[in-house]
Amino acid sequence: MTLTPIKTPLVAKKMFPNYVWDIPTDDKTLYLTFDDGPTPEITNWVLNTLKSFNAKATFFCIGKNIETHRDIFQNILNDGHAIGNHTYNHVKGWKTKTKDYLFEIDKTQSIISSQMMDFSSSNMNLFRPPYGQITPKQGKELMKLGYKIIMWDVISFDWDKTVTMETCLNNVTAKSTNGSIIVFHDSIKASKNMQYILPKVLKHFSEKGYNFNPLIF
C-alpha cells in the first residue's frame, strides 16, 4: 500500500504552487484524467463509457504505447478528449537525469504532435510525471519549455490490488469537490477496478449535476 494520500493536502499544493493540482471554480465541474494508455485491453472501453455520459477527459499517454497503438490514440482524439505527455517509457523522475528525462518527454511530444496534425489544438503542452515524481530542476526546465505540469487533487488507487473496488469508488466520490483533478489509469493493472468504478463515478456525479471537462489552458 502506498503512503500517498487520497486527497492531496493543501500544504503540498502550497509547496509547489507552479504545478496544477486542481482548477478553482464554483461550478460543478470535475476533471477526469487517465494515465498510462493507450492500452488495447481497457482504453476503448473507457472511451465508450465516457461517451455514454457525454463526459470529456484528459489522457496522459506513454509515448511507446502511442507508437504501438496508434489507432486507439486516434480514437481518443476523435472523441474530443485532451492529451497529455507521460514520458516515453514511464520513467521515475527522481531516478532519472534531467537531460534523459527531458529526452523522454521530447520524444513523446514529437509522437503526439505527429498524430495530432489533423487536430487544431492549443492544448499540447500538458505533462504529468509518472508516479508523481519530478525534481525541482526537471520541473523548472519543463516550465521554461512551456509545459503545464499537471498533478492531482484526488487519486483513486485503481491500480492497487490491495485496495477493493468499493474503496476505490469511495476514494473518488467522498473526496472530489468542484474543480478536482482526479487520477484514473487506463492500464491492464487498473482495468478490473476501472470497470467497476468509472460508470458509478460518472453516474454519481452526473446525478448531482456535475459536468466532466478536459483540461484546457
Catalytic residues, by residue number, are 35, 185
Residues 6+ positions from 101 with CB-CB distance below 8 Å: 87, 91, 93, 138
Q: What are 181's three cell numbers?
A: 483533478
Q: At what angle do helices 43-52 and 191-207 cross, to 10 degrees?
A: 10
Q: What are 163's three cell numbers?
A: 485496495
For the chain, counts of helices (H) and of strands (E): 8, 8
CA–CA distances in Å: residue 39 to residues 49, 50, 64, 94, 190: 15, 16, 11, 26, 11
Cα separation of 147 and 145, whole Å?
6
